[in-house]
Amino acid sequence: MTRSHEVQEITEISYSDLLVKAKELAEGGYRAVQICATSKDGKTEMLYSFDKDFKMINYRVNVPSEMRVSSITGFFWSAFIFENEVHDLFGIEFTDLVLDYKGNFFKLSSKTPWKTEAKKEVQ
């Protein structure tokens, strides 16, 4: 019997810390692994993962209610791909996005399909 998972290290940080941390990590030579959004009960939470030499750091951030998040593409250019995706699927606006597809990243049959629960709340 084995249990061979890496150590789970997920820290919850406040939104205001996001850019500070991102800067720190960028300077420390980390790479952006992914950005994952999850929406639940009208709230959206984002999981940012960074990695350096197989050490992964994950930050959980709750998205402010106006659904605007500042982009980390200033530090991690490659994150544009995740942020554009999140923008199209979850309807979160990113400010200062370096390569902004302006909602044309995916062509979807319904706008921001993952945002459903937020809609529910509005109803």
Partner 1 sequence: MGKRTIVPFGPQHPALPEPIHLDLELEDEKVIRAVPSIGYVHRGLEKLVEQNDYQIMCYVMERVCGICSFGHSWGYAAAVEGLMDIEVPERAEHLRTIFHELSRIHSHLLWLGLLADAMGFESLFMHCWRLRESILDIFEKSTGGRVILSFTKIGGQFKDIPKESLAEIVIILENMRKELLVVTNVFLDDTSVKNRMCGVGKLSKEDIMKLGAIGPTARGSGVNNDARCLDLGKYKELGFKPILETDGDCYARCKVRVREIFQSIDIIIKDVENIPEGPVNIPVKGMPPMGDFIARIEQPRGEAFYYVKGNGTKYLDRARVRTPTNANIPILVKVLQGCYLNDVTMMVMTIDPCISCTER
Partner 2 sequence: MYSVFFLLLFPALMAVLLLLVKNDKLRGVIVISGAIVIMAASVYVALEFLKDGTTYFNFESEMLDWFMLAVELILCAAVIYLGMKYKKYLASILSLVQAVFLVWFEITYAHEINVLNNLYIDQFSIIMILIIGVIGSLICIYSLGYMRDFQEHHVSEKDRRPWFFFLMFIFLSAMFGIVTSNNLMWFFFFWEVTTLCSFALIGFTKTEEAVKNSFKQIILNLVGGIALILAIIVLGTQYDVMEFDVLLRMDSNAMYVMLAVGLFSIAGITKAALMPFHSWLLGAMVAPTPTSALLHSSTMVKAGVFLILKLSPMYGNNVVGYMVMCIGGLTFLLASMAAISQSNAKRVLAYSTIANLGLIAACGAVGTYEALWAGMMILIFHAVTKSMLFLCVGTAEHHIGSRDIEDMDGLFSRMPKLSALMIIGISGMFLAPFGMLISKWAAMISFVNSENLVLITCICFGSAVTIFYWGKWLGKMVAVVANSKDVEESVHKEEWVVLGLLATLVIAICFSFPFISSEILSPYLLSVFGQPVNPIFATFGIAYVCVLLGMLALLVVVPIPFFNKTKKKVRNNYMCGVNNGDNQSYSGSMGMSVNVSMRNWYMEDWFGEDRINKIGLVLTTAIIIVAFVLILGGVTS
Partner 3 sequence: MSYSTKSPWIIHYDGSSCNGCDIEVLACLTPMYDLERFGIVNTGNPKHADILLITGSINEQNRDVVKQIYEQMPEPKVVVAIGICATSGGVFKKCYNILGGVDKVIPVDIYVPGCAARPEAIIDGVVKALRILEEKSKALHNKGGKVQ
Instruction: Give the range of 5-13, 48-56, 74-82, 100-108 binding partner 3 by CB under 8 A.
Output: 100-108
Surface-to-core class of residue 25, CB atoms within 10 Å of its CB (0-12 exposed, 13-18 middle, 19+ buried): buried
Minimal distance, residue 77 CB to partner 1, in Å: 6
Q: Which of residues 50-89 bind partner 1 (CB under 8 A)?
A: 51, 54, 56, 58, 76-78, 80-82, 89
Judged by DSSP in three states, 11 sits in: strand
Minimal distance, residue 101 CB to partner 2, in Å: 5
Q: For residue 24, what are its two tokens?
A: 């720190």
Please state, as a whole number, how many other Cβ atoms lie within 10 Å of the Cβ of residue 95. 9
Instruction: Give the range of 19-27, 52-60, 63-71, 103-111 binding partner 3 by CB under 8 A.
Output: 103-111
Task: Considering the complex, state which of residue 5 and residue 122 has its C-beta at the smaller distance from partner 1.
Answer: 5
Task: Considering the complex, state which of residue 40 and residue 107 has its C-beta at the smaller distance from partner 2.
Answer: 107
**Angle made by CA atoms 30, 31, 35, in degrees to the nearest 5:** 125
Q: For residue 23, what are its two tokens?
A: 């800067």
Buried b (16+ CB within 10 A) or exposed e, 69-78: bbbbbebbee
Q: Which one of partner 2, partner 3, partner 1, none is in contact with 122 (Cβ closer than 5 to 8 A by kind)?
A: none
Name the site residues for partner 3 (rule: CB under 8 A): 106-110, 113
Name the site residues for partner 2 (rule: CB under 8 A): 101-104, 107
